[in-house]
Structure formats: C-alpha cells, structure tokens
Structure 1
Amino acid sequence: MKKPSLILLLLAMPISACTTVGPDYAAPGAGALGVPGAYHAEQGLAGSAEELAQWWTVFDDPMLNRLVEQAVASNLDLAVASARLRQAREAVVQARAGRLPNVGASAGAGQDLDSDGNSRTNLSLGADASWEVDLFGGISRGVEASRADAEGAVFDLAAVQVAIVGEVATNYIQARLAQQRLETARDTLRIADENLEIAGWRVQAGLVSSLDSEQARAQRAQTAASIPGIESDFAAAAYRLAVLTGQAPGALTASLAAPRPIPAGPDTIAVGIPADTLRQRPDVRAAERTLAAQTARIGVAQAELYPALRLTGDIGASALSIGGLVDAIAGGIFGGLSQTLFDGGRLRSQVRSQEAATDAALATYRQSVLVALEDVENGLVALDAAKERQQQFAIALDAANNTAILARSQYRAGLTDFQTLLEAERSLLSARDGVDSSRAEQALALVQLYRALGGGWDPLAPDTGTAA
C-alpha cells in the first residue's frame, strides 16, 4: 500500500503545476476602454512625475507643506487604509499556505493500574500530514485573487492619500480666503464708521435729513453682521485641518491665526494624455485590480467542478518506556480522490455567479475610467473659468475703487447724496470680495485638477508594492 501511494504523490506534483482552469486575466487596453488620445481642453505635454507626486509644493507655501506632511503621517483614515493593506497582504500568505501540506504532531503519557495495584506507564508519539494537491489550479487561482486584492489595497491606500492631500489643500485655501474676506470686512467696517460719523455731522449741520444717518447706521450694522460668519468659516477650516492631521479641533487655530495670502499656483499645468491619467489615478488602478481578482475567482469556482486529490500520512509509536519508542514505529500514506456527483447545480451556479461578478467588476472599471476623464476635463474648464473671472474682477475692483474715492469726496463736499456713496461702497465691497474669491477659485481649481490627475502619491515608492 505504501508504494502506490508514494508513486501517486510524486505523480501529483507535476500535474498540479501544469493544469489550471479558468480564464487567464489580461488587463483591458486603453483602446478597449474607449480612452481618447487627448483631452478636449488640451494643456500641453505631461509634467514630471515628481511634480505630480508632490503637487502642493507648487503653491510655495511652507505652512501648506507642513500640513500635508502631518496629514500623510498622522491622518486616521490613512491609518485605517494602511491596516487594511496589511490585512490584505496577510490574506496572500494564507492563500499560499494552501499549496503546502499541513503537518501536526502529538504526544501522550498514561498510567495503567491492575487489580493487584501494579502500574505501568504508556508513552506515545505521533505525527500526521495532509496535502490537497492543486490538480486544476483552484489554489493557484485563489493565490492570484488574493494577490490582486492586496495590490488593490495598495491603490486604495493611495486613493485615500490623494483625497486627504486634496482636502488639506482645499481647507487651507478656504482658511486663507476667510482671512482675506475678514480683512476686507473690517476695512469696510472702518469706512462705514467714518461714513456714519460724516452723515451725523451733516445732519447736525442741517445739510441733510436724518435719512442719511439712518442709511449709514444700517450699512455699518450689515457690515458688522458679516464678520462673525466669516470668523466661523475660518474656524471651521482650521478645525477640519486639525482633524485631517490627526489632532483635536482647535489644535492648529493659533498657528493659522496670522493672516497669509491665498496660495497662488501656476496659471496652467501639463496634464499629458488620458492614458497617463489612468496609470496615475489610484482609484482606477484599484478598480482594475478588483477586475483581476474577480477573474481569478472564476477559476477557483471552476476547480470545484473537478476531482480533488488529497494525500494523507501518519507515523507513530507507543511503548512502555522512552527507549522502547524507537522499536515500535508504524505509519502509512493514503491518497484519495473525491468528486461531487450531484449538488443540485450549486457548483455550476457558483461559477456563473463569479462570471457575473467579473462582468460587474469590468463595468465598474470602465466607469472609473470615464469618471477619471470627466474629472480632468472639469478641472481644466474650472481652471480656465477661474482665471477669466480673476481678470474681470481685477478690472471691476479698479473701477469700483475709483468710484468709491470719488463718491466719498463728493459726499463730503455736498455734491452728491448718501445713496450714491452707499452704492459705491457696496460695489467696492463686492469687487474686493470677488477678487479674493476668484483667487481662491483658481487655487481650488488647481487642487481639483491635480487631484483629478491622481497627484499626491508616488506610484514608484517602495511601499506601493505588494508582498511577493
């Protein structure tokens, strides 16, 4: 019995290495996905990978650089994604273990007593092993699926990092915008105080009615009322930045309190071709890895339709003394084939279920590609629109500032009414706020575009690999 089993074991090893059921995965090419050769709003050649990986440095803002570094090091969402990556890598180790035999050992000792009160010691040692031969590649396909899942977890982690970096930059820009708007509101409040004082003097002098002073008082109150809301916007952005960097809300408020200008990046950036974006976007690459994993699981399900070969063996000894254990060793090897003959169609249904899941994964992958291209196109349009708005608001601010200066001087001289001054002041406030908002919009459009391109992580970094 031992020789046939040993021969069966030796024959099974090459068989298990060359027979693998299920489709072999090949990633769909850009042509199959309908990826165009260029973006609708072309911006030139591709930029460097280093710039895209650390795009926030183009704003040349040391505080923003520090906040991004803190977020990458301490953000808790990244910590969760990192833990899931470690879990996925351990799943690869567990799947590989299916290729190897399971070996166990046992030992025992007992004391026997007879009716005369005599005793004797019984000792035993044993070992057993079992191995399921991967005849049709089910285990190999399982390893393939686990490896693809682990690679997908790498890209999931990168996608979280891309999102976190973008959110840090967004909230930082919003915090600086709030500071600029607060400065504008306080300047306007000082002017409103002066207007109220001038109107009061003119009313006392009998030059105008009390209508002017009441309008000035209303304008002053409305300006003052806007300040708490702007302060709340700044506080919310500062609190969010603290949480993004793994700290309690309020931890960064003091360090952000000193006003700084809204970060200004380049007017244009090189986006390259759509195929470059697919390689850079981690969410797209994660979707592709999910497709690879689901394709491999078709083979796992198909392998269940075929016979399974399991080899088992054991060896043991028992004796009355330790020295006698080597004199009574026995063991055996057994190989058995099993095949499901009837299960009501369950196994074939599992194959069809995995094929459906693969179709869904392919559709999800194609959708992620289209969304990525849409994000880039929207980012390009938003950047162009923000630049145009900023140019027009600059013209509006210059005109509104000149108008306000003339209106103030004419009102003091009694050459115009307060309503004209009031309209000029409102136009100036609107123009200043528009300039600040358009600067922030351009910076936010850059953030949107860099994020759409998948910037914020390095695809070539060592920690983006998976366990071999």
Structure 2
Amino acid sequence: MARTPFLLLGLMTMTACSVGPDYRPKSAAELGVPDTWSVTAETEAEDLNRWWTRFDDPLLSQLVEQAARANLDIAQAIARLRQAREALVASRADLFPSLSGSAGYNRTEPVRGGGATVTLPDGTVTTTGGQGRDSFSAGLDASYQLDLFGEVRRSVEASRAQYEASGFDYATVLLSVQGEVARNYVLARAYQAQLDNARASLAIQDDNLEIAGFRVQAGLVSSVDQEQARASRAQSAANIPQIEQQYNAAVSRIAVLTGQAPGALKPALAEARPIPTGPQAVGIGIPADLLRRRPDIRAAERALAAATAQIGVSKAQLFPRLTISGSLDANSSDFNSLFDTITGGLFAGISQTIFNAGRLSAQVRSSRAAADGAFAAYRSAILTALEDTENASVALRAATQREALFAIAYDAALNSALLARSQYRSGLTDFTTLNTQEAALVSARNGLVQARADKAAALIALYAALGGGWDASVTPTAPPRDD
C-alpha cells in the first residue's frame, strides 16, 4: 500500500503530456500581408472606436448608439456568446473529479400474522408478535479520468478559442449594424435633398408651363411649346412618388435596426437636414493593423486555434484512458451510530480501443482537414479586409473628386438655365433650348447630391473596413450571468 501514493503521483505527472499540434499565431509576413497599400493613403492610424461622432450629427450618433443597445441581431449575437461561455464552463468541469452522494432510510415491517413460534418450559407453544426494523445508509462516490494524453485539456483549449471567436463574431455584428444605420441615415438625407430638388424643379416647370401658355395665347409660338412644357412638368412630378418611397424605406430600415417598429422614426427624421459630412481624410495605418482591428479576422484566427486544438482531442482518443474511482459507504440500524463504521474502496481501470475499423484515425484526419479549412478561411478573411479597405479608400477619393466637379457643373448649369429662362420670356430662344437647360440643371443638382451621399457612404465603408466601432484592445466577453 505504501507504493500507492507514489504510483498515483506518477500517473498525475503523466497528464502533463498533450498530443496534437500546439497552436502558434502566424505573423503578418507569414500570412502574406503586404507592408504597404497599393493605393496612396495616410498611414498614421487613428482611434476609430466612435467614428460616427466625426460626422458632427447628434441624431446620427444617437441612432447608432441606440442600435448598439436595442438591435435584435446584436441581441442574438450576445446570446450565442453566452452559450459559448457556458460551453467553456462545461468543458472545464471535465478537468475535475465528479463527486456524488447518496443517503437512504429503510424500515421493514413484519407481514400480518408473522412473528416467532416459541415453546415454553411447560410445553406450551405460543407465537410472539413481530417487530419492525430500521436501517440507515449513506454513501459517497467519486470518479476521475486522468487526462493522460491531454484530451480534456485540448477540449478546454478549443472551447476557450470558440468562446473568444464568439466574442469577435458579436463585435462583427455590432460593426455591421453601426455601418448599416449610418448608411441608411445618409440615404434618408440624400432622398430628402432629392425631394427638395424635385419639388423645386416642379415649381419651375409650372412657371414654364404658364409662360408657354401665355405665349401660345399671344400667338407668339405654337401649341407645341405648351405641350412640351406640360410633358416636362408631368415627368418632373412623376419622380416625386418614387423618391418618397425610397425615403420611407430608408427611414423604416433605420427604425428596425434600432429595435423599433418601421414607422417609429418618421417624426424624428421629418425635418430635412443636410447630408452629414465627415473628415476629408482618414488615417488607415498599415495593412498589418487590420489583423488586430478587424473583428472578423480575429474571429477567423480563433476558429483556426479551436480547429487546431480539436486535432489533439481526436488524436488523444487513439490512446488508453485511465479512470480512478472510489467510494465510501456507511450502514447502521441506528442513525446515531451511522458513521461508526465506514467502508471504502479505490478502483482504477484502463481502457483501450483495439478495433474500430479506422473510425478514430478517420476522426484525426477529419480534424486536420477542418484545421486546413479554418486556415484557408482565415487567409480569405484577411484578403477580403484588404480588398474592402482599398476599395473604400478609392471610392472615397473618387466621390470627393466627383463632388468637386458636380459643384462646378451645378454652378454652370444654374447660370445657363437662368439665362435660357430669361431669353425664352423675351422670345430670344425656343422652348426646346430652355427645356434642355432645365434638364441639365436638374441632372447637375441631383449629381451633386449623389456625389455627396457617395462620399459619406464611402467614408462609412472605410471606417467599417478598418474595423472601427469597438475597442480592439480587449476581447469581447459575455455579460454577467443573471442567475
């Protein structure tokens, strides 16, 4: 018996061995991340945690922050994060022994007519009445599977990585919702500007139709001018219902994203405001910064770590398993003396799969294939992030250039339309020329609105591509338990 503690100590020491590969994060160079961007960009990284405040629009900030609290997609992501946390807790429990206790009480009563038959000294035979008997019992059972080859520890490692991946998945959903709220807010303001343009154009068309009517009555022009004016006016009016429908869709989408009914935000957004404008340039840092700032990349990296740990779980099943169990029992007919005598036992068992038609080896190969797939998904997420950033950066530059050019076009078209309208009233030009100049003005005005909206949308897309909107210095965790 003196050898038993040393034997158990030796077996416990063996549990330090874990089969399967040890995960090591790869560097940016190993992942093929370039040192610089292929487009000209400001490489000094900025703090983008609350990027929406840079648009200097209090209502936009309010809506983005409300969505972070009330959006139902975010609520689902938090629920999945909580599930992952409890899966980690359950996985850790396998590192410890399981302990169970039992207690019992039993009373035996004699059957009716029972009792003992006794012959007295005088030869008389009599039957004594039976008496009931009490019995008490208590037991304690323990079992522990020694993690000789690291199956449990690898399982905990995989669960921890999956929990962290769920945290980054939550951050990814959060960033997506923030960007979607801001994008639809820009759309709503752009549609308001387009409605103003359409109504202003309609007022001009009404004026032109009136002028054409006077000139027809005066015999200065034929009724063709009046019919052209009427057609132009109807076409301008026809644009208004379509823009109103698009505006309504954008406002409804913002309401749903903030956890409200589709029409809840119509009063708050009813007053037309300018399209929000942000900074002219954004410091996007270097490509390697995306490995830290983009939560979808970090989620993919954690998924790779979990898949790598799972190889060890599968591989450990090829080796023997050692289980130690023990029990303590006490029995007595008197509760006060129940623990006077305690018996116990200690047992150890080892098991090894001898034949399973290659099932366990196939599981190892399957886990390796899953890790290869996770690595490919990780690299794909990196390439997609690089693509998103460069595309958004180019789109922002292009929209800025287009805005400047449309501003020039709008100024020229406005002057040309005013001149043509004056000349038409004076009879110095025909209605076709006036109509052409009015159409050019509408086109330039709407083009300027669209360029400004595109610029704001490209800026939002760039913030999202850079992973802005969360604190990248910490791993998101589940909220405290409510029970």
On whether the aligned pair clears a TM of 0.5, the verdict is yes
Contact 1:9–1:335 (8 Å) recurs in 2? no
Work out whether 1:14 is the aligned partner of 2:13: yes
Equivalenced residues, count: 463
Report the equivalent of 2:437.
424
Change (3 A) 1:7 1:118: farther
Contact 1:307–1:337 (8 Å) recurs in 2? yes
Tell me how far 1:420 sits from its aligned partner: 0.7
CA deviation vs aligned residue, 1:36-92 (integer Å, no higher than 9, x gap) = 00111131232332xx11111111111100001101111111111111111111111
Contact 1:179–1:234 (8 Å) recurs in 2? yes
Equivalent runs, 1:140-155 vs 2, <5 Å:
140-155=153-168
Change (3 A) 1:178 1:7: same
Work out whether 1:191 is the aligned partner of 2:189: no
Work out whether 1:94 is the aligned partner of 2:84: no
- The structure that is helix-richer by fraction is 1
Mean Cα deviation higher: 453-462 or 292-301: 453-462
Q: Which runs of 4+ in 1 moved over 4 A?
A: 2-7, 461-467
Tell me how far 1:5 sits from its aligned partner: 5.4
SS at match of 1:53: coil
Report the equivalent of 1:42.
40
Tell me how far 1:278 sits from its aligned partner: 1.7
Report the equivalent of 2:189.
176
Of the three residues 315, 337, 340, the one matched with 1:327 is 340
CA deviation vs aligned residue, 1:100-126 (integer Å, no higher than 9, x gap) = 000001111111123324211111111
Of the three residues 79, 82, 94, the one matched with 1:83 is 79
Contact 1:151–1:465 (8 Å) recurs in 2? no
Work out whether 1:447 is the aligned partner of 2:447: no
Change (3 A) 1:464 1:317: closer
CA deviation vs aligned residue, 1:175-229 (integer Å, no higher than 9, x gap) = 0000000000000011011011111111111111111111111111111111111
What is the TM-score with the length of structure 1 in the denominator?
Answer: 0.96
RMSD of the alignment, in Å?
1.5
Change (3 A) 1:346 1:4: farther
Distance (Å, rounded) in 1 between the aligned partners of 2:478 and 2:104 = 46
Of the three residues 87, 103, 118, the one matched with 1:107 is 103
Change (3 A) 1:44 1:384: same
Amino acid at match of 1:9: L
Contact 2:321–2:350 (8 Å) recurs in 1? yes
Contact 2:164–2:475 (8 Å) recurs in 1? no
Contact 1:278–1:372 (8 Å) recurs in 2? no
Of the three residues 297, 302, 322, the one matched with 1:289 is 302
Of the three residues 137, 160, 178, the one matched with 1:124 is 137
Work out whether 1:71 is the aligned partner of 2:67: yes
Equivalent runs, 1:250-269 vs 2, <5 Å:
250-269=263-282
SS at match of 1:44: coil
CA deviation vs aligned residue, 1:225-275 (integer Å, no higher than 9, x gap) = 111111111111110000111111111111001000001112211111000
Distance (Å, rounded) in 1 between the aligned partners of 2:321 and 2:413 = 84
Identity between Structure 1 and Structure 2 (%): 54
Distance (Å, rounded) in 1 between the aligned partners of 2:281 and 2:340 = 85
Q: Indicate the structure (1 or 2) with the bigger Cα radius of gyration.
A: 2
Distance (Å, rounded) in 1 between the aligned partners of 2:165 and 2:479 = 9
Work out whether 1:351 is the aligned partner of 2:350: no
SS at match of 1:25: coil
Report the equivalent of 1:400.
413
Distance (Å, rounded) in 2 between the aligned partners of 1:181 and 1:290 = 46
Amino acid at match of 1:327: D
Give 5+ residue unaligned stretches, structure 1. Answer: none
Report the equivalent of 1:25.
23
What is the TM-score with the length of structure 2 in the denominator?
Answer: 0.94
Distance (Å, rounded) in 2 between the aligned partners of 1:276 and 1:464 = 22
Mean Cα deviation higher: 2-11 or 52-61: 2-11
Amino acid at match of 2:213: G
Amino acid at match of 1:183: D
Distance (Å, rounded) in 1 between the aligned partners of 2:27 and 2:359 = 34
Work out whether 1:249 is the aligned partner of 2:247: no
Distance (Å, rounded) in 1 between the aligned partners of 2:428 and 2:353 = 102
Mean Cα deviation higher: 151-160 or 114-123: 114-123
Report the equivalent of 2:126.
none
